[in-house]
Amino acid sequence: MRRQWTTALAAVILAAGAAATTVPTASAATSTDCSTVWGSLDRQDRTAPYQPQALTNIRTGAHECFDRLVIDVPGTSPENPLAYRIHYMNGNTIYQAGSGTPITVNGGAVLEIVVGASTYDPATWQKVYPARSGDLLPGVDLTGYRTFKDTRFAGSMEGETQFGLGVRARLPFDVFQLDNRLVIDVAHSWTAAD
């Protein structure tokens, strides 16, 4: 009887060990839903009252369903929003405010982004974001991004900063505000299957 118990116990332990090492099948795996209803029409928020603020940084991140651009403006929030205008250009050129100087941005489509913040500290007039007109955005490296292709700084004038974001194609995008930053997400495709 003792030998039967030992044999039965060994069989249960072996079965449990095999079950623990079984690899899940493809049907058990989950996939990310990248569908979006964002669209590609112009976005703007001009309801924010003008207040001098400084743009301190622009950074990016690559995600599974979209590429993200973050504009850091301390002191802003959903309750104290940053004014902005974002739209696709006809062609690959943005025109610098004031001078009208053309600035070419590479990509299949170009988003012009204008935010209600300066690259200078309004209290000291010291430059806080070291960008130069026509150059790439400082510190932004788009190597390996699926959607983002190029960035170009256009200038900062009369409390607004302008730049271009080159993307792979005219794709849907979303804009929202969090504490101290404005976020722009551009989808990798129009449908999850692309």
Domains of the chain: 43-187 (2.60.40.3500)
Q: Under 8 Å CB-to-CB from 89, ≥6 apart: which residues? A: 109, 110, 111, 112, 164
Backbone angles phi, psi at 159, to 5 degrees: 80, 10
Query: Is 38:111 a contact under the CB 8 Å cutoff?
Result: no
Residue (of 154, 120, 122, 124) closest to 136 by Cα position: 154
Spatial strand order in the sheet of 109-115: 43-45, 84-88, 109-115, 160-167, 148-157
Its pTM stands at 0.80
pLDDT per residue of the chain (194 residues) written in tens, 0 to 9 = 555 544 444 444 444 444 444 333 343 444 577 877 899 988 888 666 667 899 999 999 999 999 999 999 999 999 989 999 999 999 999 999 989 999 999 999 999 999 999 999 988 989 999 999 999 999 999 999 999 999 999 999 989 999 999 999 999 999 999 999 999 999 999 875 44
Contact 189, 171 (CB under 8 A): yes
Q: How far apart are CA 182 and CA 83, in angstroms?
A: 10
> What is the model's pLDDT at position 49?
65
C-beta separation of 84 from 114 below 8 A: yes
Q: How far, in Å, are 53, 54, 118, 173 from residue 123 at the CA level?
A: 9, 9, 11, 34
pLDDT at 18: 42
Helix and strand totals (H; E) in the chain: 1, 11
Is residue 164 within 8 A of residue 146, CB to CB? The reply is: no
**190: Cβ contacts below 8 Å, ≥ 6 apart:** 171, 172
d(CA 139, CA 93): 22
Question: Where is 4: in which H helix or E strand?
Answer: helix 2-20
Backbone angles phi, psi at 73, to 5 degrees: -135, 95
